[in-house]
Amino acid sequence: MQNQTLEAATKAIETAYETTKEIVEINASAMSSLLEKQLEVMGQALDFGVKQAKLLEQTKDLKSALAAQTELVGTAAEQAMENVRDVVKIANQTRQAYDDIFKEGVQQAVSAVKQKGARKAA
């Protein structure tokens, strides 16, 4: 009986360790992806600022400045929406990875309970 308890405890510790390792990997991947996206967004913002400064420097009248500014803002809005889609994609991938770990854990728990029940019945 003690050997079975020791084996069960060892198995539980190993499973917890492996699950924790998987969660750390998921978190690291998500943070890396989000950091890359953040750097990309910062680059876009700087690029937008430079383009805006050049635009104001090069335009001669208010009408052409407003037209060019409107086009620039439209491009920036499109980039912003693409960034939102990318972040949502990262979040969904991370959620799916967590869901997979949870489902695997539930399956392992159910399997362990069934095995224990089969041993008691025998």
Mean pLDDT by 10 residues, the chain (122 residues): 79 87 96 97 96 89 89 94 97 96 86 73 62
| CA 87 vs CA 5, 47, 107: distances in Å | 45, 20, 30
Q: Is 38 left (phi over 0), alpha (psi -120 to 50) or beta?
A: alpha
d(CA 47, CA 68): 15
Q: What is the pLDDT of residue 86?
A: 97
| CA 4 vs CA 9, 17, 86, 109, 117: distances in Å | 9, 20, 48, 16, 14
Q: What is the pLDDT of residue 112?
A: 75
Q: What is the pLDDT of residue 121?
A: 64
Q: What is the pLDDT of residue 54?
A: 92
d(CA 72, CA 66): 10
Q: What is the pLDDT of residue 82?
A: 97
Q: What is the pLDDT of residue 11?
A: 84
